Amino acid sequence: MKPREFAPGIFTVGYIDWDRRLFDSLIPLPDGTSYNSYLIKGSEKTALIDTVDRLVPQSLLDNLTSLGIERIDYVIANHAEPDHSGALPQVTARYPEAKIVCTERCKGMLIDLFGLAAEKFKTVNDRETISLGNRTLEFIHAPWVHWPETMLTYLKEDKILFPCDFFGSHLATTDLYVTDEGQVYEAAKRYYAEIMMPFRTTIQNNLQKIQGYEFKIIAPSHGPMHKKPDFILKAYHSWAYDEPSNIVVLPFVSMHGSTGKMVDYLVGALAQRGVAVKQFDMSVADIGKLAIALVDAGTIVIGTPTVLAGPHPAAVYAAVLANALRPKAKFASVIGSYGWGGKAVETIASLIPNLKVEIIPPVLCKGQPRETDYQALEKLAETIAQKHKESGFK
């Protein structure tokens, strides 16, 4: 993608990765992504905000060449992760006068990642500013968005926030700004769920920290920019602060159909009681969709057969993922079947210590579910519905 000037002297110089389908070797990217990098020309100095992924450094160098950039004074590294810092070695080699501006912790991480020389860095404190002449950059430390070293950069005169991952979305598009809010909402929620949700409390702190600022544009380092910042600010506020919803998220796997029958029954019993269910067959599920659903879940129920004396590995994956993502669900349970015994429930329960949930008694059946098992599932549905009601989940 060629550079585009979206404000006088401010250009997008990043890369749109239309074909990337997996991030961190974990997160499905159905719509690709982008590594946004921004060039800001001041009357005296020039700054580059973030770089691009380590796989595509030449794209950034080519864009800087096409703009005729002969000097860069500051390369702002909001975040050390290599999808944004990956071209630092090449950029600082071409522009040896450039200082890498980052937090002290980020400096250590970038030295570890790329072996960059310590003298190339200028570390900045929270709220410190750097003048570009007629423009001023302010650095707002924002730890755990989503690594401990992160900061945001605010271009004061233009009222543009460059928050790197914060408010970003994995979405490849030629749109400079959000046009399809529904599409961006889902992509941004997927991103929030998979990297921000585990740090929800610090996300709340960081949302509070930027409350006094006025934003004309929020320009993240993935996905389109926000010309209507309220859209994404409200979405983040809701994901981070709202109580869980009247929703059960039910990741499951079934080998010979018994657990599948239990899932079908429980889903019907919950729906009859007005509880929404989002079920995910773990043998085919997009775990990004599962993560999105977990943002709002009131209860998580894991469905698993017993195999080799324990839960099915695909169900274990769901439990480990939920434990890592730390959603705000308040209740959890397990359903499933077994042939001759095992410790499926104990194992699943031991895998979710991070979840602050009350465990509702599980329902396990031997072989195919029978009438007594369906009665137990009816009771489980009633208990969940009751607990959601008492908790005020909407």
Residues at the interface with ligand FEO (CB under 6 A): 79, 81, 83-84, 146, 165, 222
Question: For residues 106 and 344, which CB has a smaller minimum distance to ligand FEO in the complex?
Answer: 106
Positive/negative CA dihedral, 229, 231, 237, 239: negative
Question: For residues 81 and 296, which CB has a smaller minimum distance to ligand FEO in the complex?
Answer: 81
CB of 238 to ligand FEO, least distance (A): 22
Name 385's Cβ contacts closer than 8 Å, sequence gap at least 6: 270, 273, 274, 275
Question: For residues 325 and 348, which CB has a smaller minimum distance to ligand FEO in the complex?
Answer: 325
Neighbour count for residue 239 (Cβ, 10 Å): 20
Question: For residues 79 and 388, which CB has a smaller minimum distance to ligand FEO in the complex?
Answer: 79
CB of 83 to ligand FEO, least distance (A): 4
Question: For residues 101 and 314, which CB has a smaller minimum distance to ligand FEO in the complex?
Answer: 101
Q: Which residue is nearest to ligand FEO (CB)?
A: 81
Q: At 307, which amino acid appears?
A: V
CB of 182 to ligand FEO, least distance (A): 22
Question: For residues 168 and 303, which CB has a smaller minimum distance to ligand FEO in the complex?
Answer: 168
CB of 84 to ligand FEO, least distance (A): 6
Q: What is the token pair recorded at 318?
A: 């769901």
Question: For residues 135 and 146, which CB has a smaller minimum distance to ligand FEO in the complex?
Answer: 146
| Beta pairing partners, 215 | none
Let me know the angle formed at the C-alpha of 34 by 21 and 45, rounded to the nearest 5 degrees. Answer: 155
Question: For residues 25 and 211, which CB has a smaller minimum distance to ligand FEO in the complex?
Answer: 25
CB of 305 to ligand FEO, least distance (A): 36
CB of 127 to ligand FEO, least distance (A): 22
CB of 52 to ligand FEO, least distance (A): 11
**What are the distances in angstroms from CA 97 to CA 10, 42, 75, 84, 121?**
20, 16, 10, 20, 11
Pairwise CA distance, residues 303 & 315, whole Å: 7
Question: For residues 99 and 222, which CB has a smaller minimum distance to ligand FEO in the complex?
Answer: 222
Question: What is the maximum alpha-carbon separation in the chain?
Answer: 79
CB of 372 to ligand FEO, least distance (A): 49
CB of 146 to ligand FEO, least distance (A): 6
